[in-house]
C-alpha cells in the first residue's frame, strides 16, 4: 500500500511546538530586517556623492557643519538687513537680495571685498564693528565672520582624508563669534545709537533670534572641536599602543 502524502496546511501547522514556532518567527523577522537594512543601505548610497568615499566620519561631520554654519550666517544676514534696511544701500546695491548674493559669493569663493580694503576674517571683523567704518556694515560683518570660519578650517569648506583641521583654531573661531555677538549688541556710534540693530528686548516683547542662531554656530564649532581632539588623541593612543605591544607598523 502506497502511503499518502498530504500537503502542509494551516491545520498541520497548528501542531507545531512552541519552540519551533519561535524559531520560525525569528527567522522571518531576521529575513525582513536584513532586507530592510539592505534597502536602507542602497538608498543611502544612491543619495550620496562619489567624493564621500574619501571622507572619514569626522571629515563628513566637518563638511556638514561648515554647510550649516554658513546657512545660519546667511539667515542672520537676511534678518540683519530686515532690521537695518538702510545698510545694503551703502554699497550701491539695488536691493537686499543682490547685496546678500554678493556677500555669499565672496565668502564661498574666498575673494576679498574691495570696500573692506582687502581685509579678511579678524581684520575685517574689527573694521566692520568700528565707528570709523563707512559702508554696508551688515555685509561687512557677515563677510568677516564667514571668511573667519573658512580660515579657521584651513581655507576649505569640504574636507577629506588628506586634510587636517586644527581644533584650536576652530575653538578660537567659536570664541570670536561669542565676542562678536556681544559687540554687535553693544557697539554704538557717536550719536549714541547702536551701529546695528539685532536682538530686541522691550515692553512690546523680546526678539532674541539673533543670539539663538549665533549660539547654534558656536555649538557646532565646539562639537567639531571635541571630535577633532578625540580623533587626534586616538591616533596618538594607537601609536603608543603599537609601541607598547611591540607591533610592527604597516608600510602600505
Is residue 236 predicted with pLDDT exceeding 60? Answer: no
Is residue 31 predicted with pLDDT exceeding 90? Answer: no
Please give the residue that has the higher pLDDT: either 34 or 4: 34
Residue 117 belongs to a domain: yes
Please give the residue that has the higher pLDDT: either 51 or 203: 51
- DSSP-assigned beta bridge partners for residue 200: 207
Confidence of residue 234 (pLDDT cuts 50, 70, 90): low
Neighbours of 97 (CB within 10 A): 12
Residue 176 belongs to a domain: yes
Residue 31 belongs to a domain: no
Q: Whole-number mean pLDDT of the chain?
A: 79
Is residue 86 predicted with pLDDT exceeding 80? Answer: yes
Residue 66 belongs to a domain: yes
CA distance 67 to 46: 21
Residue 164 belongs to a domain: yes
Q: What is the pLDDT of residues 66-81, one digit of tens each?
A: 999 999 999 999 999 9
Nearest to 120 by CA among 153, 93, 146: 146
Summarize the confidence of residues 117-134 as an average pLDDT.
90
Domain residue limits at 173:
55-244
Write down the pLDDT at residue 202: 55
Confidence of residue 52 (pLDDT cuts 50, 70, 90): confident
Residue 14 belongs to a domain: no
Angle at CA 173, nearest 5°, toward 115 and 114?
Answer: 10
Is residue 19 predicted with pLDDT exceeding 90? Answer: no
Please give the residue that has the higher pLDDT: either 3 or 184: 184
Please give the residue that has the higher pLDDT: either 54 or 247: 54
Q: What is the pLDDT of residues 130-178, one digit of tens each?
A: 988 989 999 999 999 999 999 999 999 999 988 889 999 999 999 999 9
Q: Is the Cβ–Cβ distance between 107 and 147 less than 8 Å? A: yes
Residue 11 belongs to a domain: no
Write down the pLDDT at residue 41: 47
CA distance 40 to 153: 32
Write down the pLDDT at residue 118: 84
On the 0-12 / 13-18 / 19+ scale of CB atoms within 10 A, 13 is exposed
Is residue 206 predicted with pLDDT exceeding 90? Answer: no
Confidence of residue 12 (pLDDT cuts 50, 70, 90): very low
CA distance 68 to 71: 5
Domain count, the chain: 1
Question: Residue 207 — φ and ψ, nearest 5°?
Answer: -130, 100
Amino acid at each position: 500500500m502506497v502511503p499518502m502524502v498530504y500537503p502542509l496546511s494551516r491545520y498541520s501547522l497548528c501542531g507545531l511546538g512552541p519552540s519551533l514556532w519561535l524559531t520560525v518567527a525569528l527567522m522571518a523577522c531576521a529575513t525582513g530586517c536584513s532586507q530592510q537594512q539592505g534597502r536602507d543601505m542602497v538608498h543611502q548610497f544612491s543619495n550620496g556623492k562619489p567624493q564621500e568615499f574619501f571622507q572619514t566620519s569626522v571629515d563628513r561631520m566637518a563638511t556638514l557643519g561648515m554647510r550649516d554654519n554658513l546657512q545660519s550666517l546667511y539667515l542672520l544676514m537676511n534678518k540683519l538687513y530686515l532690521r537695518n534696511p538702510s545698510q545694503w544701500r551703502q554699497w550701491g546695491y539695488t536691493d537686499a537680495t543682490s547685496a546678500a548674493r554678493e556677500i555669499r559669493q565672496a565668502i564661498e569663493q574666498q575673494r576679498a571685498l574691495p570696500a573692506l580694503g582687502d581685509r579678511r576674517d579678524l581684520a575685517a571683523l574689527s573694521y566692520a564693528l568700528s565707528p570709523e567704518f563707512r559702508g554696508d556694515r551688515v555685509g561687512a560683518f557677515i563677510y568677516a565672520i564667514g571668511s573667519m570660519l573658512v580660515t579657521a578650517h584651513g581655507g576649505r569648506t569640504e574636507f577629506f582624508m588628506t586634510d587636517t583641521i586644527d581644533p584650536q583654531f576652530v575653538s578660537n573661531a567659536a570664541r570670536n563669534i561669542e565676542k562678536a555677538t556681544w559687540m554687535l549688541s553693544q557697539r554704538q556710534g557717536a550719536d549714541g545709537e547702536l551701529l546695528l540693530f539685532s536682538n530686541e528686548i522691550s515692553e512690546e516683547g523680546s526678539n532674541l533670534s539673533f543670539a539663538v542662531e549665533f549660539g547654534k554656530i558656536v555649538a557646532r564649532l565646539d562639537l567639531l572641536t571635541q571630535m577633532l581632539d578625540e580623533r587626534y588623541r586616538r591616533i596618538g593612543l594607537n601609536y603608543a599602543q603599537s609601541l607598547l605591544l611591540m607591533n610592527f607598523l604597516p608600510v602600505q
